[in-house]
Structure 1
Amino acid sequence: MSYTPARTALARAGVLTVSGLAVVAFAATRPAAAADPAGYQNIRINEVTSSNNDTVELYNAGSTPVSVSGWKMSDDGFSPQSFSPSSTTIPAGGFVTFNSPKGLGDSDKLVIYSADGTVVDRVEWATNKAKPAMARCGADGTGAWVTATTAATFGSANAAGCPATIPAAGRLRINEVTSNGSDTVELYNGGTSAVSIGSWKYVDGDTSHSTSSISSSSPSTTSIAAGGYATFNSTIGLGDNDALFLIDGSGNTIDSVTWMLDGAKPSDERCADGTGWFRTATTATLGGANSCSGASPTPTPTSTQPPTGQLLGGGGALTSGCTPEAATGTGSAPAGTVAWPGGLDVTIADNVCAFTTSTGPEGRDVSGLAFDPSNPSTLWAVKNKSWLFKLVKSGTKWIPDASWSATGKHLRFAGGSGEPDAEGLTIGGNGHLYLTSERDNDHNTVPKDTIMEFDPAATGSTLTPLRQWDMTSQFPQLNTGDKDDANLGFEGVAYVPDSWLTAGGWIDPLTGAAYNPANYPLHGSGLFFAGLEWDGTLHIYGLNSDGTLTTFGTVATGKTSVMDVLFDAGTQRIVATCDNTCGETHTFLKVNAGGAIVADATYTNPAVLPVGNLEGFAIAPAATCVNGAREAVWSDDGVWGFGSGTSSYGHALYSGTFPC
């Protein structure tokens, strides 16, 4: 098996991706060193001529500028040489050109290397095929390589120089590939006539390997009918972090695909057949139409921005009674929001319709999430139809702990009556669970903003709180007799230890002096920050052991709403999460020099996540860090995902990574 170490630039930077990133056309076939700029894998050879000063055009198919300073090139006859580009930086969707320092032949090969020697892209052509130019046609950066009708498009889009009709060979594409041992390749003919491939060859991303003939591989394939498929097993092997290049009998590059980590396990496939971007599948469909069941919708080949991550996993039919709900209330992100700092890939982390219960089967699924700081292998989840789940890891999925309850435990208010509209939860300093409710599901037009304390070791299938604190009277704006207003109360809650508040010099709003926990002898070892969906504020409480409470005022998050709150000891920040209402963002808050709790930074979600009612968010404790990263988990209150027919439909949990 050809193999190169499966470490990406993200991993070296302290972010471990969950799974492989598959992109159309060429990308680096081995990991880049630290010198490689972010986005280098999005640079494509886009046009080349072996006349007119042997000009080469590079195109940036990514969404951010990329520096090509120090990059080199070679052909099939000389070692890598420096070149002088028209600009040392290629803007997103932009072009640079340069003249080959050693000349290019009528039948030749061009390889582009980054400053540290990483192979970024390559193309081969036969005699006179690069005269007047050889260009990507159909889409800059990803289209089929064909001989252009004019060489006048250097520095701009290729469309003007492309022939009106792409040759039949250009319609044949790599459609699916596996690196799981059989190393099978599927080709698809998207044209209207058969294409003979008896003399065609292929090679992987190992530059020491020679090309291999398709016809000599097993099974032998010599022709593909219009609209047909052909498969063969690679004789040179395909690795976990590798590439595949398809070359016709004359030596012209036709198509390629690159994958990293385990992206080609069970397979990488185009969605749609022959034209779409590659993404990791949940099931290989070699020899037939691709299932497109493994990842989120990604840009089409005409887009200037390739996918920035993969949404992996999913599948399974909806069970009876599980009815996903489409997301509502989409709004814009707060000003100054920056990109997700963790891994770009996300895995679907639950079984389909996993949280259907007797009182809430209609799709109002998991709301709040919290890792147990004393046992990070446990993830607690609360469902706003009055249910609590203890989850444990099974492979890549979080599933109910059967030893606690395979179907969750039913929640009741103090006294055993009423069903909490449970939205958020946290683990207190005493190891107990503290849950918020914004109303009683039995009387959903009336707010009931409470925090309830539960003992997770309590036996039985129904749980009632040890103590319950009612703050409903503090929010008269929610008590209008309208169920929608009543539903805008406490959505999340976080236990924040006194040690963090005192170390940061937090000023107690009640005294105007530095916070002194001894002033509040019944409150335990920390305060509770409850997030109000109504206006995005955090409300600070001391929850006393005698059932009384101390109200310490509010904190502005800069958001219009808050759906979950957590305290992350790893970053020493309080995190206020908002779903699509605020552009799927997470605001990290700190104690500033003046002793006030203020917003420090706001991050978006990974781009591959669906835009929906992702109401729960949890980050694993720093003790779980591996290679500079730890798990982050999101929950979808409506299990809608990307909608009906997608791999995420009917799923509530998503898993990604966050830096340590």
Structure 2
Amino acid sequence: MCAAALTFSGLVVTGIIAAQPAAAADPAGFQNVRINELTSNGSDTVELFNAGSTAVSISGWKMSDDGFAPQSFSPSSTTIAAGGFVTFNSPKGLGDSDKLVIYTADGTVVDRVDWATNNAKPAMARCGGDGTGAWVTTVSTTTFGSANASGCPASVPAASRVRINEVTSNGSDTVELYNGGTSAVSIGSWKYVDGDTTHAAVTVSSSSPSTTSIPAGGYATFNSTLGLGDNDSVFLLDGSGNTVDSVSWATDGAKPSDERCANGTGWFRTAVTATPGGANDCTGSGGGGGGQTGRLLGGGGSLTSGCAPEAPSGTGSAPAGTSAWPGGLDVTIADNVCAFTTSTGPEGRDLSGLAFDPSNPSVLWAAKNKNWLYKLVKSGGTWVPDASWSATGKQIRFAGGSGQPDAEGLTVGANGHVYVTSERDNTNNTVPKDTVMEFDPAATGTTLTPVHQWDMTSQFPQLNTGSKDDANLGFEGVGFVPDGWLTANGWVDPLTGAAYDPANYPLHGSGLFFAGLEWDGSLHVYGLNSDGTFTTFGTVATGKASVMDVTYDAGTQRIIATCDNTCGETHTLLKVNASGAIVPDVTYTNPAVMPVDNLEGFALAPTSTCVNGFREAVWSDDGSYGFGPGSSSYGHSVYSGTFPC
């Protein structure tokens, strides 16, 4: 959407506007719809973007220009899919110096943007993020109906680095501004106004305390003289009257405050603790502020021949007491469309287990059900197969080079080898084959065979019914847990009834393997011996109906059992309790913007990668379905977000 050559449009950056409390008939999620691109060159085209996690009906919506007389328009679709776009030609001419306001059918203001002379010729577009980026004037290219180009603008004017960072409606009605730039910004002539359209804008400098400048990296706070209530908004205007930033919130959303997380850059959420004049707290689960539950970014692309995403199945509820995702609310689609088509899985689906390489956090290992292993690396923010290892992944076989392992979970052991679980042999998929296979990633060739293989099938007779569905409910995930964590936390060895002593098991290496059984959500603990035998240490209850991935995270010092939509898209962190047993500690949902799909893989980057208190979290969609046909996520398998360090 943004061409290479750009001129800035005088600080016109808008947010969600809700002039009055939403009427009962207003569609759910309407606050997440944003004006994203427009032109006043004669065609007067407007593009709307839905930054929310659910589709929004815009049937009966209206628009107005600076005359403020709402008028109906004819959109390309009466529904905007999550992460999707809708366009229309304005029934009113848009002028050189004008404004555009979007209303719901009941008259609630959804979004608004103002521009100065010639700033919408040939077009104006948000650059730096659909729905949220800085408004710039494009000089040549427009891309109505598709995502904004990434990486623009290359530089941002100092004034547009100022953001509303926190706001309270608890009586003090405090507004906090944050300057994320490298130079001070004069705001003596800037104004603010709330969501009441009868109110005139008030200068920041006339409010208490009087503020005329914000230092680089600093804060400015003032108390609103307009009064801030429930279902309200704050709009920040520069000296020319252009919208710089805004925030809207629902009932109690700004009590104790509505804050950006991450500080200065993230989306708004309800704060646990108000911190006016300083960095936002951003701890605890908080809640979505102003209807802003994060954005799903990126994606798109055409499905290749044979690529056939599959709709999710088996949706169930989350365990009681589940907490909201503690990391960032934004999520990025982080792979190329139809990236995992293979000779045994041309439909491109079935990417399942994920694991970061602890010795090289720039590497993400991934298992695909129909016997493929991928070494992924980052390229421009996208996880792609490492061409130096194999641009198309490597096939894996059972011991002896036979069969097609139904590869589901994987982990990296202390020796750097990749351990993969299989539920069955896809060449005989009605019979379970619950195994753990050890592969040396340094081995040459395009097909890998196990260094060792451990077969636990006989322990699960309930899976051997002659049904391919039952056979497909075995080892879905696996995590390597270091002996050091087990001993330091006082884990009691179920085999001896005493504190776990690794020396009792001299062939097992330096840790145990926790395999997740999809059948009932239990974890099965094994010592994998170098002579091909194994020691069974019993089971651990996760409190969940199923488990799709297992990981040990050194950052939280917890074992994490992940479940997809079967358990409400949740991650249960397990600890060693005072009695020496491994038990559930806390359960988190996924970020709200993510699809409710068969998200079977989950991995957290090591804490060595932390930036500003966060690190990467990665998910895999087994069905590559996203939000379905026509959505930007359709045909994609990998999602990237953030998790606290």
Q: Under TM normalisation by the shorter chain, which class is it?
A: 0.5 to 0.7
Q: Which amino acid aligns with 1:616?
A: G
TM-score by length of 1: 0.61
Secondary structure, counterpart of 2:320 in structure 1 = coil
Aligned pair partner of 1:168 in 69, 72, 75: 69
Contact residue 560 and residue 582 of structure 1 kept, 8 A? yes
**Structure 1 residue 435 and structure 2 residue 420: aligned?**
yes
Secondary structure, counterpart of 2:579 in structure 1 = coil
Shift in alpha-carbon separation, 1:398–1:477, aligned structure 2, 3 A: same
**Structure 1 residue 239 and structure 2 residue 160: aligned?**
yes
**Structure 1 residue 408 and structure 2 residue 393: aligned?**
yes
Residue aligning to 1:652: 637
Contact residue 97 and residue 118 of structure 2 kept, 8 A? no
Shift in alpha-carbon separation, 1:246–1:314, aligned structure 2, 3 A: farther
Contact residue 122 and residue 138 of structure 2 kept, 8 A? no
Contact residue 494 and residue 567 of structure 1 kept, 8 A? yes
Residue aligning to 1:619: 604
Contact residue 62 and residue 72 of structure 2 kept, 8 A? no
Contact residue 189 and residue 195 of structure 1 kept, 8 A? no
Aligned pair partner of 1:583 in 545, 568, 571: 568
String of CA shifts for 1:156-207, please: whole Å, max 9, x gaps. Answer: xxxxxxxxxx96357699x9xxxxxxxxxx9988775x3575664699xxxx
Q: Which amino acid aligns with 2:442?
A: A
Shift in Å at residue 218 of structure 1? 6.5
Shift in alpha-carbon separation, 1:549–1:404, aligned structure 2, 3 A: same
Shift in alpha-carbon separation, 1:320–1:494, aligned structure 2, 3 A: same
Secondary structure, counterpart of 1:623 in structure 2 = helix
Q: Could you tell me how far apart the structure 2 residues matched to 1:217 and 1:484 are?
A: 59
Q: Where do 1:213-362 residues align within 5 Å?
A: 214-215=116-117, 217=119, 219=121, 233=137, 239=160, 306-362=291-347
Contact residue 409 and residue 478 of structure 2 kept, 8 A? yes
Shift in Å at residue 363 of structure 1? 3.7
Q: Could you tell me how far apart the structure 2 residues matched to 1:258 and 1:364 are?
A: 46
Residue aligning to 1:24: 16
Secondary structure, counterpart of 2:370 in structure 1 = coil
Shift in Å at residue 219 of structure 1? 3.9
Contact residue 172 and residue 188 of structure 1 kept, 8 A? no
String of CA shifts for 1:337-361, please: whole Å, max 9, x gaps. Answer: 0000000000010000101000011
Q: Could you tell me how far apart the structure 2 residues matched to 1:145 and 1:495 are?
A: 59
Contact residue 438 and residue 449 of structure 1 kept, 8 A? yes
Secondary structure, counterpart of 1:646 in structure 2 = coil
Residue aligning to 1:46: 20
Q: Could you tell me how far apart the structure 1 residues matched to 2:429 and 2:508 are?
A: 31
String of CA shifts for 1:382-429, please: whole Å, max 9, x gaps. Answer: 000100000011011000000000000001000111110000000111
Q: Could you tell me how far apart the structure 1 residues matched to 2:348 and 2:120 are?
A: 48
Q: Provide the aligned C-alpha RMSD in A.
A: 4.4
Shift in alpha-carbon separation, 1:258–1:582, aligned structure 2, 3 A: farther
Q: Could you tell me how far apart the structure 1 residues matched to 2:591 and 2:388 are?
A: 33
Task: Indicate the percent of aligned positions where both proteins have the same amino acid.
Answer: 67
Contact residue 122 and residue 137 of structure 2 kept, 8 A? no
Q: Where do 1:409-428 residues align within 5 Å?
A: 409-428=394-413
Shift in alpha-carbon separation, 1:258–1:590, aligned structure 2, 3 A: farther
Shift in Å at residue 362 of structure 1? 2.0
Q: Which amino acid aligns with 1:24?
A: I
Secondary structure, counterpart of 2:324 in structure 1 = coil
Shift in Å at residue 220 of structure 1? 9.7
Shift in Å at residue 322 of structure 1? 1.0
**Structure 1 residue 481 and structure 2 residue 382: aligned?**
no
Q: Where do 1:201-220 residues align within 5 Å?
A: 214-215=116-117, 217=119, 219=121
**Structure 1 residue 629 and structure 2 residue 614: aligned?**
yes
Residue aligning to 1:375: 360
Q: Could you tell me how far apart the structure 1 residues matched to 2:423 and 2:459 are?
A: 12
Secondary structure, counterpart of 1:445 in structure 2 = coil
TM-score by length of 2: 0.63
Aligned length: 451
Q: Which amino acid aligns with 1:168?
A: A
Secondary structure, counterpart of 2:435 in structure 1 = strand
Q: Where do 1:452-491 residues align within 5 Å?
A: 452-491=437-476
Mean CA deviation greater in 446-455 or 303-312: 303-312
Shift in Å at residue 239 of structure 1? 3.2
Shift in Å at residue 321 of structure 1? 1.5
Q: Which amino acid aligns with 1:610?
A: P
Secondary structure, counterpart of 1:437 in structure 2 = strand
Q: Could you tell me how far apart the structure 2 residues matched to 1:479 and 1:390 are?
A: 32
Q: Could you tell me how far apart the structure 2 residues matched to 1:22 and 1:391 are?
A: 37
Secondary structure, counterpart of 1:168 in structure 2 = coil
Contact residue 197 and residue 214 of structure 1 kept, 8 A? no
Q: Could you tell me how far apart the structure 2 residues matched to 1:346 and 1:245 are?
A: 33
String of CA shifts for 1:300-346, please: whole Å, max 9, x gaps. Answer: xxx99624111111111001111101000000000000000000000
Q: Could you tell me how far apart the structure 1 residues matched to 2:352 and 2:294 are?
A: 25
Q: Could you tell me how far apart the structure 2 residues matched to 1:575 and 1:507 are?
A: 19
Contact residue 405 and residue 425 of structure 2 kept, 8 A? yes
Shift in alpha-carbon separation, 1:339–1:492, aligned structure 2, 3 A: same
Contact residue 192 and residue 235 of structure 2 kept, 8 A? no
From the CA coordinates, give the structure whose radius of gyration is larger. 1
Q: Could you tell me how far apart the structure 2 residues matched to 1:313 and 1:199 are?
A: 32
Secondary structure, counterpart of 2:608 in structure 1 = helix
Q: Could you tell me how far apart the structure 1 residues matched to 2:121 and 2:234 are?
A: 21
Shift in alpha-carbon separation, 1:322–1:218, aligned structure 2, 3 A: closer
Shift in alpha-carbon separation, 1:201–1:547, aligned structure 2, 3 A: closer
Contact residue 8 and residue 136 of structure 2 kept, 8 A? no
Shift in alpha-carbon separation, 1:488–1:23, aligned structure 2, 3 A: farther
Q: Could you tell me how far apart the structure 1 residues matched to 2:236 and 2:639 are?
A: 25
